[in-house]
Amino acid sequence: MTSIASIAAPSQAGFNVRRIREDFPILRQTVHGKPLVYLDNAATTQKPRAVLDALTAYYSEDNANVHRGVHLLSERATQAFEDARATVQHFINAASTREIVFTRNATEGINLVAQTFGRTRLGPGDEVVISAMEHHSNIVPWQMVCEEKGASLRVIPITDEGALQLEEYERLLGPHTRLVSIVHLSNVLGTINPVQQIIATAHRRGVPVLIDGSQAVHHMTVDVQALDADFYVFTGHKLYGPTGIGVLYGKEGLLEGMPPYQGGGDMIKSVTFEKTTYNALPYKFEAGTPNIAGAIGLAAAVGYVTGIGMDRISAHERELLAYGTAALSGVPGLTLIGTAAEKSSVLSFVMEGVHPHDIGTVVDQEGVAIRTGHHCAQPLMQRLGIPATARASLALYNTREEIDALVAALHKVRELFT
């Protein structure tokens, strides 16, 4: 491997990436005979031992259904599940556990808001404002409810660098705007949107805002009260937690006024064939047996990252992004996609004369896992005028040496295709 800078990354006080890597058993393997270099973290992150142990401990010792059993195991499971909710509440600084709804993922959180808040608030001629850099999960749920209600989508344009055009955003907000729904950190561009400002602008016109934080919560400190977000969604598996568990934060006053999403057990207070009374928050939105182990695993993941410190993680990833940006810029024929001033953790790129799919296959043979394709953001690809990108995305366990391995693999790509 040709190393453009084989010196060890400068270690911050208390942040030892070598030691952190030991917490992730999956990273020890080789693929195609090469050490695994996992740079597909925006798709999903790997899980630390703390999360794996929490899942095993729950299923080995406490497994029972929650909120209904009088037996000891059910009490322990209920306690662990509700403790997990409190852990998430503190993690994003929500005012109350009543504001923390467990979902399957961020997508379900957005669909929940679209189908409850959206369906009751939207009418003919109304508008929902999103942006040109949204993931399909923050486009399609709004299209579905807009179509049903005769409302329409308005889209904030972006600059060629991949930043939102905020003056256009202000212009889009009008008397018919009922909701703004914006990604916090773009999965394709890495752009960090100024969500605090976006929310303040909307609130001056009385418009609530949903923030899709799937790519943000594991890279930076998120305080939903400081942001004054009305809704904030994220998924567990990008935050080093299990798949199948996500979080919808909603301000209590808004959640109170929304009808339930799905009907079933757990979301009711009492049921007769004549009338059903719905349960209190957050249970009103959690029909059926929840993903108990998932919530417990997510809480373990939150405990893991907060134990290290979000500020330290951010600093490590910022340093790595700067290193990666410089290293990739030195590869002949490579163009970075997404160069906004405020960005984090994502290095999207294209290479002259080589399709991203071919890049992905060649670097995989070198042990380097990256994502290639449209990243579930086809309208963004159309805006950028490209069919696809290759994307390396960073996590707390990545190192400079891994960036070097990517760069070396990209030189092999050029060797093969030019």
Partner 1 sequence: MSDLRELYQEVILDHNRRPRNFRAIEGANRHAEGYNPLCGDRLSLYLKVEDGMITDASFQGSGCAISKASASMMTDSVKGKTLSEARGMFEQFHQMVTGNADPLAHPERLGKLAVFEGVRNYPARVKCASLAWHTLRSAVDAKDEVVSTEAE
The H or E element that residue 76 is part of is helix 72-91
Find the part of the chain contacting partner 1 (CB under 8 A) among 54-62, 146-154, 257-265, 366-374. Answer: 366-374
d(CA 87, CA 93): 10
Binding-site member from 362, 403, 405, 406 for partner 1 (CB under 8 A): 362
Find the part of the chain contacting partner 1 (CB under 8 A) among 145-153, 154-162, 275-283, 381-389. Answer: 381-389
Binding-site member from 378, 383, 401, 408 for partner 1 (CB under 8 A): 378
Residue nearer to partner 1 on the CB measure, 195 or 368: 368
Per rule CB under 8 A, is residue 411 in the interface with partner 1? Answer: no
- 376 is known as an active-site residue: yes
Per rule CB under 8 A, is residue 380 in the interface with partner 1? Answer: no
Residue nearer to partner 1 on the CB measure, 337 or 354: 354
Residue nearer to partner 1 on the CB measure, 289 or 361: 361
Compute how many other C-beta atoms are within 10 angstroms of the C-beta atom of residue 2.
9
Least Cβ distance, residue 381 to partner 1 (angstroms): 7
Find the part of the chain contacting partner 1 (CB under 8 A) among 52-60, 266-274, 308-316, 351-359. Answer: 351-359
Measured CA angle at 87 (ends 83, 92), to 5 deg: 150
Per rule CB under 8 A, is residue 381 in the interface with partner 1? Answer: yes
Measured CA angle at 256 (ends 252, 259), to 5 deg: 135
Q: Which value, to the nearest 10 degrees, does the dihedral of the CA atoms of residues 25, 28, 29, 30 take?
A: 160
Binding-site member from 18, 28, 90, 357 for partner 1 (CB under 8 A): 357
Q: 119: exposed, middle or buried (C-beta count within 10 Å: 0-12, 13-18, 19+)?
A: middle
Question: Among 376, 381, 386, 408, which one carries the catalytic annotation?
Answer: 376
Spatial strand order of the sheet with 127-131 comes to 100-103, 246-250, 231-235, 209-212, 177-183, 127-131, 152-156
Q: From start to end of 272-337, where are the E strands? A: 276-278, 334-337
Spatial strand order of the sheet with 371-373 comes to 334-337, 346-351, 389-393, 371-373
Least Cβ distance, residue 373 to partner 1 (angstroms): 5
Per rule CB under 8 A, is residue 37 in the interface with partner 1? Answer: no
Least Cβ distance, residue 417 to partner 1 (angstroms): 7
Compute how many other C-beta atoms are within 10 angstroms of the C-beta atom of residue 140.
16
Sites of contact with partner 1 (CB under 8 A): 32, 354-358, 361-362, 365, 372-374, 378, 381, 387-388, 412, 416-417
